[in-house]
Copies of this chain bind each other. A is one copy, B any other.
Amino acid sequence: MILADGVLKVSRRARAEIRAERHTGPTAGLAPGFVQANLVVLPFDLAGDFARFCDYNPKPCPVLARSEPGDPSFPTLGEDIDVRTDLPRYRVWRNGDLADEITDIRAWWREDFVAFALGCSFSFEQLLIAEDIEVRHIKRGTNVPMYRTTIETVPAGFFSGPLVVSMRPLRSADAIRAIEITSKHPNVHGAPVHIGFPEQIGVADLARPDYGEPIDVEAGELPVFWACGVTPQAVIERCKPPFCITHAPGCMLITDIPIEGNGVEIR
């Protein structure tokens, strides 16, 4: 569903700013009301395995769209999207090592590349805020903290690796409501995977996230962990594909798909 032009301007304008490299950082809080997406770009010969990996791991990797080989557009997510320019920041990976972080991947694009757009927690955060639940990293203007866990994803062909989670500190009543709300939205990670005991999922120190920025958990708050679309990056580090590209954590693709609340499915 694409809204009328007047409403679209918010997401299109945000993409235009990003395309022009006037915005090159995290997209949390940008174009509120529109679905954001994680990006994974792989050569065609690995795309089949990755599609299966996503099928087996729908919580971290809910597929919103998959491009045709060589085609950098996502027509179902927005009319003018070009995934080579429309994200603020990309990560280029060689043999599982981070080779570069850049703001435009046109120079690296290949005719055998397939792009996957995966649902992102920035979308459900808008639903939480709409229910008066404070999302602290948005209030602070920082990137959400993300952690590699000791929870293993379900492997598929070439791909296997640890689950990555994002963490939001919430008071008890808000945590319960956040679970109720997000469980209705499987396309943007669904219900949390853990609550309360970071050490049980292999997170030794909340103050030292593997991605993003730390956020304080105050006394009387629970750390609530959701499966995260950065999981494929931990998988890439483990499995070492010769070459691939992802978004940089927190720097997402803004789509023209409106987020709808009250139990209505996001896509």
Q: Which of A145-192 contact B (CB under 8 A)?
A: 172-173, 175-177, 179-180, 183, 191-192
Q: Is A141 an interface residue (CB 8 A)?
A: no
Interface presence of A222 (CB below 8 A)? yes
A194 contacts B172, C-beta separation under 8 Å: yes
Q: Are B179 and A197 in touch, CB under 8 angstroms? A: no
Q: How far is the CA of A198 from the CA of B196 in the complex (A)?
A: 14
Q: Choose from B179, B195, B220 the contact partner of A222 (Cβ within 8 Å).
A: B195
On chain B, the residues within 8 Å of A197 by CB distance are 172, 220
Interface contact A172-B191, CB-CB below 8 Å: no
Closest residue on chain B to residue A181 by CB atoms: B183
> In this assembly, does A95 line the interface, its C-beta being within 8 Å of a C-beta of chain B?
no
* A196→B173 contact, CB < 8 A: no
A193 CB–B CB distance under 8 Å:
yes
> Which residue of B180, B193, B195, B220 contacts A191 across the interface (Cβ within 8 Å)?
B180
> Which residue of the partner chain, among B173, B193, B195, B196, contacts A193 with CB atoms under 8 Å?
B173
Q: How far is the CA of A194 from the CA of B177 in the complex (A)?
A: 10
In whole angstroms, how far apart are the Cα atoms of A180 and B176 in the complex? 9
B residues within 8 A CB of A173? 193-194
- Residues of A190-227 at the interface with B, using a CB-CB cut-off of 8 Å, are 191-197, 200, 220, 222
Q: Are A196 and B196 interface neighbours, CB within 8 A?
A: yes
**Which residue among A176, A192, A193 has the maximum number of chain B CB atoms within 10 Å of its CB?**
A176
Nearest B residue (CB) for A201: B172
Complex: how many Å from CA A192 to CA B222? Answer: 15
Q: Is A196 a contact partner of B180 (Cβ separation < 8 A)?
A: no
Q: Is the CB of A195 within 8 A of B176?
A: yes
A175 touches B200 (CB 8 A): no
Q: A179–B181 Cα gap in the complex (Å)?
A: 11
Which residue in B172, B183, B200 is a CB contact (below 8 Å) of A180?
B183
Chain B residues near A192: list those with CB within 8 A: 176
In this complex, what residue of B is CB-closest to A224? B176
25 A-B Cβ contacts within 8 A? A172-B194, A172-B195, A172-B196, A172-B197, A172-B200, A173-B193, A173-B194, A175-B195, A175-B196, A176-B179, A176-B191, A176-B192, A176-B195, A177-B191, A179-B179, A179-B180, A179-B191, A180-B180, A180-B191, A183-B183, A195-B195, A196-B196, A196-B222, A197-B220, A200-B220
**A→B interface (CB under 8 Å):** 172-173, 175-177, 179-180, 183, 191-197, 200, 220, 222
